[in-house]
Structure 1
Amino acid sequence: MTEPPVLVADYFDGHSARAQPVRLAIRERRLLIEGDGVSRSVPLRQVGWPERQRHGARQAYLPGQGLISAPDAAAWDAWATASGLRERLVVRWMQSWRGVALAAALLVVVLVGSWRWGLPAAAHGLVALTPIGVDEQLGALAFEQFEHQWLQPSKLPTERQAALRARFAAALERGQAVERARGAAAPLPAWQLHFRASTERGLGANAFALPGGHIVVTDALVELLTDRPDVLVGVLGHELGHVRHRHGMRSVVQVGLLSALSSLVLGDFSTLLTAAPVLLGQAAYAREFEFQADADAARLMRANGIDPADFGVLFERLRRQQQARPGIELPIGLATHPPDAERVRRMREAAPGP
Structure 2
Amino acid sequence: MGNEGSHLSCARSDRTPSISSKSHQQHERKARRSPSAVSGDSLGFQRQGSDSSSESGDERETAMVIYSKNSVKASTSSAANRPGSGSKTLVIPNGASKRNRRKCIPDKPNYSINLWSIMKNCVGRDLSKIPMPVNFNEPMSFLQRLTEDFEYSSCLDNAAKCDQWEQMCWVAAFTISSYCSTTTRTGKPFNPLLGETFECDRRDDLGWRSFTEQVSHHPPTCAMYATGNTGWSLEQEFTMSSKFRGKYLQIIPLGIAHCKFDGSGNHYTWRKVTTTVHNIIVGRLWVDNHGEMDIVNHKTGDKCHLKFSAYSYFSKDIPRKVTGVVTDKQGTARWVLRGTWDSQMEAAKVLGTSQHGSKPVFETGEYKVVWKRRFPP
TM-score bracket for this pair, using the shorter chain length: under 0.3
Q: TM-score, with normalisation over the residues of structure 1?
A: 0.22
Which has the bigger relative contact order, CA under 8 A and spacing at least 6? 1
Structure richer in helix, relative to its length: 1
